[in-house]
Structure 1
Amino acid sequence: MALSLNGPHGHLKGKIGNLVFYLLNGQPVVRTIGDPGKPSINQKGNQQAMSVTMKVFKSMKSFINSSFELEARGTVRNPFNLAISYNKKNALKGAYPNLRIDYSKIVLSYGDLPLANDLKMVKTETGVLISWGLSNQDFPALNNDMVMLMLHHPLDHRSTTVLNACRRDAGQHFIPLSNTELNEPIEAYICFKSANGKKISDSAYLGNLNGEPDTPEEESQKKKYAVLKTRFDQIELDYLQQLNDNGGNPVDSKAFRNLEKEYQVLKHKLEHLPRKPV
C-alpha cells in the first residue's frame, strides 16, 4: 500500500503492485521491483556499460566529488552520478560483450575557466612530472588557480589523486610513484580550479604510460591460446618424431592415426582461434 502524504495530488510513498514510490534528494521517484524477465541484448549491453563505467570511476570518486561539484550545484544529482551519466554515454568503445573504457574520452570536469597549453607528462625514475604552459602574461588573475591532477592505474582499478597539487603559476608538479606503479599502465588527467572554488576548467587527458591493459576477454583468449599451444607443441613433437623414425612415412597403427588426427585438429584450432594473440 502507498500513502499520499500531501493529499490526492501529492506524491506517493510505499508500494503498489510491482511499483515502489519514494523520495530521492527531495524528488518523487518510482521504480519497479520483482523479476524483470530475461534481458534483451540491448539491456545486457546497458548493464555491461554501467558495470564497466562503475568499475573504473569508483576509484576516481574523491576527484569527481570536487571536479563535478559545481556542475551538480542546484540540481538533485550528485557529482558522481553526473560523471557516470556522461562517461557511460561518451567514454566507452567496442560493443557488447566486449565494451571497454576509452580513457582518452573520459571527462572529469566541465567549466569555462581557461585550461592551459603545452600540457606534458614525463616518466622519471621515481615518478611522473606533469607540466603546463603559464598564462600570467595574458591572464595574470589565473596565477592563483589550483591544479588538480589524477593518475589512474587500470590494472588494480586505483587512482592517485592530488586535489590541490599547486598553484597554476608553478608550471609543473611531480607525483612520486613506486617502481611497480611506474611500470604498469597509467592514465593521467588535469584540470584547474579557481582559488575561490567558484570556477573550474574542462578536464584534459594527459595521455597514457606503458600501454593499455588487456580486457578480461583478451586475457581469457590469451590463456586459452597458451594452453592450446602447449598441448600442440607436445603433440607436434611426438608426431614429427614418429614420422622421422619411419622415414617420413605415416606409421601403420591406430595409435599413430589418433595422434595424427589430434595434431591436425589442434593445428586447425590454433590457426583459427578468435582473437589470437599477436
Structure 2
Amino acid sequence: MATYKKGILGPFSGKVGTVVGANWRGKDILRSLPKKGNSNPSETQLQQRQRFLTASGFLTPMNGVLRKYFGQRNGDQSRLNQAMSYHLKEAVVFNDPDFGIDYSKVLISRGDLTGLQNPTVAAIGGNQLKFNWEDNSGQGDAKTDDTLLVVVYAPTAGLYFTQLETATRVEQVVVVTLPDFFQGLEVYSWLGVTSADHKTAATSSPMAAVTVAA
C-alpha cells in the first residue's frame, strides 16, 4: 500500500488497471488488486464459515438489545463484536452434521451489575410466561429500580420476542404476553437487568425451556 499527494488527475477512488485508489483515514492511498484465489476452501475453512453464519444468524435479530447491553465499548471493538466473539467461543456447538446454539450459554446482556437471584419461568396459559426472582436489592450495586429485559426465542419457528423495561428488581415478578403465533411452541428465554439509567447491565440469566400454552 502506498500514499500519494498528487496524481496526473489528482486523487481518485476505484480501480484503474492493476491498482485501486481510495481515501483511508484522511490519506489518499494506492493498493494493488488482490490476487484471485485458485483453490477451493478447505474443510476447516468451510466449517469456520458455517460456524460464523450460525452465530450471526442467531444474534442478528437481537442486535438492538446487544448493542445496548452487552459489555462495555472497548476501543474499536463494539458491543456487537464482543457478543459475536463470545457466542462463537461459548455458545456455537457442532451437532453433526450441522452447527447449532447451546441456549444455556447464550447471553443477551453482559456486565458488572449484580444479576438477578434465583430467576424462574413458567408457562401459565393465555400465551403468557411468568417470570419470578428474589429481590436482592442492596446486594452489591443492586438497586430497587433496576429494570428487567426479556428475550424469548422459539427455535423451530425462528421467532423472537423482546420486551424492555418489563419490571423493576424489587417487584419480583413479571408476566409477559406473547403473540398468538407463539402458541404451542417450545421457547427459550433470557432475563437481563440494567440500572435505571441504562448505563450498566448485569450478565443475563438463561431460563429453562417451556411450551407456550393457550
- 1:92/1:102 contact within 8 Å kept: yes
Runs of 4+, deviation exceeding 6 Å: 13-22
Map of 2:69 onto structure 1: 67
Map of 1:105 onto structure 2: 105
Matches within 5 A, 1:29-108: 34-35=36-37, 37-68=39-70, 70-72=71-73, 74-94=74-94, 97-108=97-108
The Cα RMSD (Å) is 3.3
Per-residue Cα deviation, 1:158-177 (whole angstroms, up to 9, x for no partner): 31111221211111111112
- 2:122/2:129 contact within 8 Å kept: yes
User: Which one has the bigger strand percentage?
Assistant: 2
TM-score scaled by length of structure 1: 0.61
- 1:59/1:157 contact within 8 Å kept: no
Comparing both chains, which one has the higher relative contact order based on Cα–Cα distances under 8 Å and sequence gaps of 6 or more?
Answer: 2
- 1:147/1:167 contact within 8 Å kept: yes
User: Which one has the bigger helix percentage?
Assistant: 1
After superposition, the Cα gap between the structure-2 partners of 1:34 and 1:67, relative to the gap in structure 1 and judged at 3 Å, is farther
Identity value in percent: 18
| Paired residue secondary structure (1:155) | coil
* Structure 1 unmatched ranges of 5 or more: 7-12, 25-29, 212-278
| Paired residue secondary structure (1:156) | coil
1:48 deviates by 0.6
Q: 2:19, 2:87 → 1: CA distance?
A: 31
Map of 1:168 onto structure 2: 169
Q: 1:49, 1:20 → 2: CA distance?
A: 34
- 2:65/2:109 contact within 8 Å kept: no
TM-score scaled by length of structure 2: 0.78
1:67 deviates by 1.3
Q: 2:93, 2:84 → 1: CA distance?
A: 15
Q: 2:54, 2:2 → 1: CA distance?
A: 38
Q: 1:124, 1:115 → 2: CA distance?
A: 25
1:58 deviates by 1.2
